[in-house]
Every structure is written in C-alpha cells, then in structure tokens.
Amino acid sequence: MPHTMEWTVRLHLFEDDEGTTKARLVLDTGSTELTGHGAAHCHPADVNVPEIGDELAAGRALNDLARQLLRAAELDIEGMGASLPDTPGALAWPL
C-alpha cells in the first residue's frame, strides 16, 4: 500500500530594528514540528534590496531545517537498530 503524507510549511520573514532580515520556517508533520532559522545582513556599502535579504534568510532557514530533518532520520535509523554508513552525509537504509 502506498504511503502518502502532507506536511505543512510556514515561512515567516521579518526585519529587525538593526536591519537584519530574519526567517523562521516551521514544518508541521502532523505528529511533530521542526523550526529552521536563518538571517541575512546587508553590508552598509551595498544597495539595500529587500528581496535578496529575504532569499538569503529563507535559504538559510531551509538549510537549517534540512540538517534537522537529516539528523531526525539518522536517529530514527539508529533507533531501528540499523547502523549508519561510514560516509559522512550519506544516509542509506540497509536492506
């Protein structure tokens, strides 16, 4: 039987009083929630383009969330009694 899930992602972008664009990314799987964070700072000599700050902050939040998801998978694999491969960053489910 196929496995189908739908996860919800909410991305919040905002700028603080110091001009830093911050991103908060919330992943809701229905049984757990993970939150990724990212930030971007505009160099004072650069032209302020808010879209670039949003992209950088959101990308960094996605990166943070991806690391958390991979770590959760590693812990789940270890919890099933399987060993992780020796290659860093490689996940495989032994058959």
Residue 23 lies in a domain: yes
Domain assignment of residue 27, given as a range: 8-79
Residue 94 lies in a domain: no
Give the whole-angstrom CA distance, residue 43 versus residue 51.
Answer: 15
Residue 89 lies in a domain: no
Q: Ramachandran region of residue 63, left (φ > 0), alpha (ψ -120 to 50) or beta? A: alpha
**Structure confidence at residue 81 as a pLDDT band (50, 70, 90):** confident
CATH number at residue 61: 3.30.160.240
Q: How many domains does the chain have?
A: 1
For residue 3, list its beta bridge partners: none
pLDDT score, position 95: 36
Residue 85 lies in a domain: no
Q: Higher model confidence: residue 55 or residue 78?
A: 55
